[in-house]
Structure 1
Amino acid sequence: MNRLVKTALLAGAAFGVMASAAQAQQAPAMEAQASTVDDIIVSARRRDEALKDVPVSVSAMSAERLEQTGASDITALQQQTPNATVQVARGSNSTLISFIRGIGQQDPLWGFEPGVGLYVDDVYVARPQGAVLDIFDIERIEVLRGPQGSLYGRNTVGGAIKYVTSRLDPDAPELTLRGAYGSYNQIDLLAQGSMRVTDKLRIGGAVASYNRDGYGENLNTGAEHYDKDVLAGRVSVEFQPTDNTFFRLAYDRVEDRSNPRHGHREKAGVGPGAGVPGSVYDTYAGLGDRNKVTTEGVSLTAQVDLNDVWTVKSITAYRSGDTDTLIDFDNTPAPTLDVPAIYGDHQFTQEFQALFSTDRIQGVAGIFYLDGTASGAFDTIAQNFGIVIGTAGYVKTTSIALFTDINLDLTERLHLGLGARYTVDDKTGHVFRANYLGATRSPLLGGAARAPILLRTDYTRSNSFDQFTPKASLSYDFSDRITGYASYSKGYKSGGFDMRGDAILTPNTVNGYQPETVDSYEIGLKGSAFDRRLSFASAVFYNEYQDQQVTTQVPAVGGIASFVDNVGSSKFYGAEVEGSLILTDSLTANFAVGYLDSKFEQFLRYNLTTQKYEDISDLVVLQNAPKWTGYFGLTWLGEVAGGSLAVTPSVSYRDDYSQFEFPNPVLDQDAFALVDLSVVWTDPSNKWTVGLYGKNLTDEEYRVGAYNFAGAAYNDSLIGYYGPPRTVTASLQYKF
């Protein structure tokens, strides 16, 4: 079945090119389509440009396209973006895990930083908690693939995701009301609107509530498992005192009270509740069912057009987050491996940009500053050892960077792009780790006051890192509609300190770990053809990954050993093609195919017995790096009952992939395909919209994460986390 799906997806992409050639002679010229790369405007280079002119691999999805396909949150990007992994983290409902072209970071613990940068209106979001953003009040979402070391810099070794919210309507007041009901008693409510206070001042806001019963049940406590209880809101004020001056003050907040996701035991253990539940969404966890994640932020954007050439821009932002969560790693009523945890973080960022544009030169230069602290504490309650390992700490980060990106029109068709960034990071880390007698909460998380029986780690260290990350590209307009490019870019992710580090088992942990870098080479071709029936973007890339940071935890005598090592190096190469094809005046095909080949060249692992590093590159693979990914969808547009009807069936495909660097046949995910169908009708006045969305219609069971704590000491706790089952949702929207 999966082989058939992959073949169909590849054939669909090829069909997109061949069918357009066959139809080009008889097809009438059509008006410009908003989905072509000529018309899509993106800000991948911090300035508005047509997608065709940007020498970067960018997938851009408009609000209309996301609504048409029934995308509810940004994890939907995974289905339509080649070589991308965008999904909910293990154990939570709103923590984001992202990989692009096999590069990312799945550890959400404080102090660890993602390898794919997330930006909300050009504000960098440093922490993954609360970052599974629900899609509302947006203009578009951009996915920038490959290192973005010059313009975005900080921790974008894999790429960047840009969540761009809607600007307020400058004229008439607006109000949109939306309600949805679906499977598992899903109830979603949204209200958003804006109004003009004066000719120069506008205010707007949106509030959304997302509620759903669990896909499964905690068979031990009776609580919902894999439920959803999220309240999100956004308020903005836009002030334009003159034609060339603009200010925007925005505030957003997300509160997630969904129950913790304890996972599903994939292998039977010993004792009551240690069997394998019949449903992959069920658990026997005994730790509890309380979870709360709150994130919020405020930003002020100021832009002044000094003249026809120069524009200056300032982006000032503050964000904070708090998490109180529970993860029962053994998934049994007993506290064999229970982990309650709290996280807290805050960040202040300031960015100044100077943008300029002349007939032959366009570009931006600026400075970026970040001051942030990420902290937390967690317990590892280990009943079989009769102890709890309490861990707490913080990482303070100060980062400053200078950057520039310039495009030179060497001729009317030949363009040279040059970019550079110099970053300095100063970090201070504190790690405390100790054993306490009794398999109950430690004093760090409100347990009974008692002195530790063994101090494992207690240090405070500081370190500084700096990196120069250049970028260069050469693009050529083969015609007004076809552009080719070749580029080189370097990505950088800062070093740091292992918040789980155990100085007894791994003494070198007190030294921290060093930065990692990626050198990326890419050639691409994008544009439109055949009277703009075919719109496409394609790329071939090669990456060299150096000093790669890898996080693993393994059972050890007296505890769990954590490793955050610069394990060595790996190499990637691959190809991507995506686009759309207008088959008839009413039928459009959208397609995306990604190919990725990845391999470790060196993987140094600390041997707890010999206390030496060994190269085990022949035993490991890159995690979250499926060889093939694909998407194929058809959208039929027609007039029904006087209104506009859009019908979109689609299928997405992901090849086999490993959850960790160490393959595990019990936990790794086989290839799978997801089949969706959406039907959206809009009335003639464009005020009423009715939608019906079916997701995962074949009810595929697929893992999106896992934990591996094999062995008798932890009751063979091999735990899987699963994506949503088949769901059907109906929605009704009215615009005033």
Structure 2
Amino acid sequence: MRILRGTSLLALSLGVMGAGSAFAQTSEDSTKTSTVGLADIIVTAQKRAMPLQDVPVAVTAFTGEAMRASNLDALTGLRGLVPGMTISRSGAALNTPQISLRGISLQDPNRAVESGIGFTIDGIPLAFQRGTLLDAFDIERLEVLRGPQGLLFGRNTTGGTLNVIRSRPDPDAAATGKLRATVGSFGRTDFEGVIMAPIIPGLLAVKGAIAIKKHDGEFRNSITGGREGKRDMRDYMLSLVATPSDRTSIYLSLERMEDDSEVPPYVPLMTPDLIPLTGPKLLTPNGLGTLGYPTYVSGQNMQCLNPATSIVCRPLSKKRNDVETTQFPAYYNLNAVTLEVAHELDGVKLVSLSGYREDKEDQIGDFDATRFAIQRNDKRESSWQFSQELRAETQFDGPINFVTGAFYIEYAFTARQFPSVDLAGLSPVTPPGTSFFNSLNAYRIRQKSRSFALFFQGDWDITDKLRVTAGARQTWDRKQTNFTLWGRIQQPFRDQFVLGPQQGPVSASVKFDELTPRIGLQYDVKPDLLVYANWSRGYNAGGFNGRAGSIVNAVIPYRPEIMDAYEIGFKSEWFNRRVRLNVAAFHNTLKDKQEDVLTVVPGGALVTATVNAAKARYKGVEAELAVVPVAGWTITGSAGYLDAKYLSFIGNLAGQGLADLKDLKLRRTPKWTAGAISDYTFDLGAGRAGLNAAVYHTSRYETSVLNDPRGSIPPVTKVDLAMRYEFPVHDSLRMTLTGFVKNVTNNTIYDGFTSSNTAGSFIDFAIPSVGRTWGVSLAADF
């Protein structure tokens, strides 16, 4: 089998690695240590605190200490360090990631489309992943669970789950704090601070946290000479922990985020090869190439040509992170509340977990990505969610233990979108603001979802070495949509448009339900060697299209997608815990696969729509290795091999009629992912120095569902370097000075690509990636 041939390549890649991921860094506060060896990391991947090596599923865990040592200041730093995972920032929404795990991904950030990658913060599952490109400063632990997690983490986890645990104050501990200031390239100025202290020792403690992140823009505007993609984000958190008795604890967290950054700018990649120069011309008011109006001509280095003068407007820059569009300001505001109450009985822990989040977002997208004001999209959105989980966890001494409970979530969003096309900016004779197109529609969509689930997972120790795990989750979903469409009429100036005839509102609702069981076996060959096998089912909810384009398409639902997943693996430690090797192999089948594609809908409008169009298979092998050669030096690495393919795919993706598309490559499914970090610490003078080097590699993958060659991301290897020096100021204060360079080789491969896939369209752009950056930070721990 191919998967077995891939195993030998995987072993070879691990054998030549000189560094590894930070998840296995030693720690003084671990629960189990040796003189020179790897520390345990305690995870909650099974809704109970367990050592990572005892959890019979594929999990990569990072401690906050290890992330800071490797200068992983945001989740995008995990790229290449988790096998089978790609992560980049979305070009269509502020502070929002695009994540792929084992080939499951979502490119469309529209709130109506639910991701197959779950995201949980302090136990609260997020219905929307806006604002989740988190900074790592206040993260105590990050767990990346790979494969369906439908039993304990619920629906929308067919690819896996990111489980973020933030630090909490302790009423029994002394006051502590950490502050960090960072300056760097592009005018970067960051400040982060966390202070925790008991208010009533033994009874009540408080934590206050703040993060302020700013820079002037990571991309150069080749027209104005200025900077684009500016950042201006502020995040405030306040939390309380009360322990009214030895058996009861109460955790309350409040968060406020204000993000006035700019979304990453786009690079135009319009390809008029589909439009003969002797025929209708793109970017002209009547399609005839009228004198005085520029058009675009084909070529590798595409140019803007004014046919009136035969003068080239400007060749595209050869620098991939140069842009020509001027970004519009945007904002994203978030309020979040989390309340957890836990009470321990004899052998049973009862947990109530409540969460509420609300956000607002406003941004303008420049879809033509040129210096001309051709097309923009004004988008205003708001959403809220409420969730409640009641859970019982047993802690019996006997052979049977279980986790059981009930979960409810309700969430809704409203989105208003006002697209406009204005070609007069290209003409030297027509007043700016005159519109030549009136074919775009404005719309408002409101959707509301409710989901209720019951779950149970039990573990039975048949012998002292053999354990059986079994359980199931039953989920009931209901979704409602309300859609209103306005036609656009001729407008004299851009900001004086008049809404055309109203269509709708139209409403519809749909119900789904699904049983997601799991069964597994684990066998302890010896204390440091665990082998396991699992079968599980994942469930990704259905719904209604968020960009319907017509009132007919707005009320047509798409169905859920179902994942059947098989996984075998082992977890091991060797040589007195100096070496840790974990390996997993998987074979997953996804039925009724939801595809977010650009397509023509009834009425002739071109929109992004979600349809059940395919069946796909994913199989692969993943390995994680950690080594401590000598005290102070930790080398860890990971690699993943993925073989993903469509089993069937019949669809109409570009308005050209139904076609058999199963030979296309699945998006964001690189065959190889690998990463490594080497962290070496040693005594130097009165303090301790550290050297950190990270390298990660991702093989070629596609970002376009139609495999447009412009959206093919070539193989990329990036290197990060950091040096730090930690020194005491007095007994209770330690300072750490860190210097770092990210993307040392200045690799600026695109992060993503969007195309309308339609002749004559100018919605063809790439999302540039950030080049080399540097910085210096000073941190204080007390």
Deviation at 1:527, TM superposition (A): 2.0
Deviation at 1:238, TM superposition (A): 0.6
Deviation at 1:197, TM superposition (A): 1.0
Matched residue, 1:186: 188
Alignment map for 1:150-165 (pairs within 5 Å): 150-165=151-166
Aligned letter for 2:231?
K
Matched residue, 1:322: 360
Q: In the aligned structure 2, how far is the partner of 1:115 from the partner of 1:274? A: 42
**For the Cα contact (< 8 Å) 2:621–2:642, is it kept in 1?**
yes
Q: In the aligned structure 2, how far is the partner of 1:609 from the partner of 1:710? A: 9
Aligned letter for 1:510?
V
Matched residue, 1:568: 614
Aligned letter for 1:593?
A
Q: In the aligned structure 1, how far is the partner of 2:80 from the partner of 2:90? A: 17
- CA 1:559–1:284: 2 relative to 1, 3 Å: farther
Q: In the aligned structure 2, how far is the partner of 1:388 from the partner of 1:596? A: 41
- CA 1:676–1:415: 2 relative to 1, 3 Å: same
**For the Cα contact (< 8 Å) 1:274–1:284, is it kept in 2?**
no
Alignment map for 1:16-415 (pairs within 5 Å): 31-32=33-34, 36=38, 39-169=40-170, 170-199=172-201, 200-219=203-222, 224-267=227-270, 268=302, 270=304, 275-285=315-325, 289-307=328-346, 309-359=347-397, 360-383=399-422, 385-415=437-467
**For the Cα contact (< 8 Å) 2:585–2:621, is it kept in 1?**
yes
**For the Cα contact (< 8 Å) 1:513–1:565, is it kept in 2?**
yes
Matched residue, 1:586: 632
Alignment map for 1:633-712 (pairs within 5 Å): 633-684=677-728, 687-709=734-756
Deviation at 1:261, TM superposition (A): 2.3
Matched residue, 1:463: 510
Aligned letter for 2:254?
Y
Aligned letter for 1:76?
G
3-state SS, counterpart of residue 128 of structure 1: coil
- CA 1:450–1:90: 2 relative to 1, 3 Å: closer
Aligned letter for 2:674?
G
**For the Cα contact (< 8 Å) 1:388–1:438, is it kept in 2?**
no
Q: In the aligned structure 1, how far is the partner of 2:638 from the partner of 2:743? A: 18
Pairs aligned (count) = 708
Q: In the aligned structure 1, how far is the partner of 2:595 from the partner of 2:186? A: 38
Q: In the aligned structure 2, how far is the partner of 1:212 from the partner of 1:221? A: 18
Q: In the aligned structure 2, how far is the partner of 1:270 from the partner of 1:559? A: 27
- CA 1:609–1:662: 2 relative to 1, 3 Å: closer
Q: In the aligned structure 1, how far is the partner of 2:492 from the partner of 2:217? A: 28
2:555 to 510, 518, 532: 510
3-state SS, counterpart of residue 151 of structure 1: coil
Question: Does 2:483 correspond to 1:431?
Answer: yes
Q: In the aligned structure 2, how far is the partner of 1:589 from the partner of 1:609? A: 51
Q: In the aligned structure 2, how far is the partner of 1:148 from the partner of 1:110? A: 21
Q: In the aligned structure 2, how far is the partner of 1:433 from the partner of 1:363? A: 50
- CA 1:361–1:33: 2 relative to 1, 3 Å: farther
TM-score (norm 1): 0.91
Deviation at 1:191, TM superposition (A): 1.7
Aligned letter for 1:155?
N
3-state SS, counterpart of residue 468 of structure 2: strand
1:451 to 472, 490, 500: 500
Q: In the aligned structure 1, how far is the partner of 2:739 from the partner of 2:675? A: 20
Matched residue, 1:23: none
Alignment RMSD, CA only? 2.6
- Higher-Rg member (1/2): 2
**For the Cα contact (< 8 Å) 2:598–2:654, is it kept in 1?**
no
Matched residue, 1:723: 769
Q: In the aligned structure 1, how far is the partner of 2:132 from the partner of 2:36? A: 28
1:499 to 530, 534, 546: 546
3-state SS, counterpart of residue 698 of structure 1: coil
Deviation at 1:609, TM superposition (A): 6.4
3-state SS, counterpart of residue 80 of structure 1: coil
Q: In the aligned structure 2, how far is the partner of 1:422 from the partner of 1:34? A: 46
Matched residue, 1:25: none
Question: Does 2:520 correspond to 1:476?
Answer: no
Aligned letter for 2:468?
L
- CA 1:56–1:31: 2 relative to 1, 3 Å: closer
1:623 to 667, 671, 674: 667
- CA 1:657–1:41: 2 relative to 1, 3 Å: same
- CA 1:440–1:387: 2 relative to 1, 3 Å: farther
3-state SS, counterpart of residue 290 of structure 1: coil
Q: In the aligned structure 2, how far is the partner of 1:16 from the partner of 1:254? A: 39
Deviation at 1:723, TM superposition (A): 2.4
2:594 to 539, 549, 553: 549
**For the Cα contact (< 8 Å) 1:379–1:441, is it kept in 2?**
no
- CA 1:610–1:140: 2 relative to 1, 3 Å: closer
Aligned letter for 2:336?
G
Q: In the aligned structure 1, how far is the partner of 2:184 from the partner of 2:675? A: 24
Aligned letter for 2:177?
L
Matched residue, 2:29: none
3-state SS, counterpart of residue 64 of structure 1: helix
The gaps in structure 1 that reach 5 residues or longer are 1-5, 20-29
Deviation at 1:516, TM superposition (A): 0.4
Matched residue, 2:296: none
**Identical amino acids, percent of aligned pairs:** 28
3-state SS, counterpart of residue 134 of structure 2: coil
Q: In the aligned structure 2, how far is the partner of 1:502 from the partner of 1:188? A: 42
Q: In the aligned structure 1, how far is the partner of 2:653 from the partner of 2:206? A: 59
Q: In the aligned structure 1, how far is the partner of 2:314 from the partner of 2:334? A: 35
TM-score (norm 2): 0.86
Q: In the aligned structure 1, how far is the partner of 2:759 from the partner of 2:660? A: 28
Q: In the aligned structure 1, how far is the partner of 2:98 from the partner of 2:253? A: 25
**For the Cα contact (< 8 Å) 1:97–1:128, is it kept in 2?**
no
3-state SS, counterpart of residue 78 of structure 2: helix
Q: In the aligned structure 2, how far is the partner of 1:578 from the partner of 1:154? A: 27
Aligned letter for 2:401?
Q
Aligned letter for 2:249?
F
Deviation at 1:711, TM superposition (A): 5.4
Q: In the aligned structure 1, how far is the partner of 2:10 from the partner of 2:566? A: 26
Aligned letter for 1:463?
V
**For the Cα contact (< 8 Å) 2:10–2:641, is it kept in 1?**
no
- CA 1:166–1:69: 2 relative to 1, 3 Å: same
**For the Cα contact (< 8 Å) 1:385–1:558, is it kept in 2?**
no
Q: In the aligned structure 1, how far is the partner of 2:492 from the partner of 2:101? A: 40
Spell out, residue by residue over 1:268-302, the C-alpha distance to the aligned partner (whole angstroms, 9 max, x if none). Answer: 3646877523433333336x521101122001100
Aligned letter for 1:350?
Q
3-state SS, counterpart of residue 76 of structure 1: helix
Deviation at 1:323, TM superposition (A): 0.8
Q: In the aligned structure 2, how far is the partner of 1:559 from the partner of 1:284? A: 28
2:760 to 707, 713, 721: 713
Q: In the aligned structure 2, how far is the partner of 1:431 from the partner of 1:145? A: 36
Deviation at 1:366, TM superposition (A): 0.6
Q: In the aligned structure 2, how far is the partner of 1:211 from the partner of 1:497? A: 37
Deviation at 1:546, TM superposition (A): 0.5
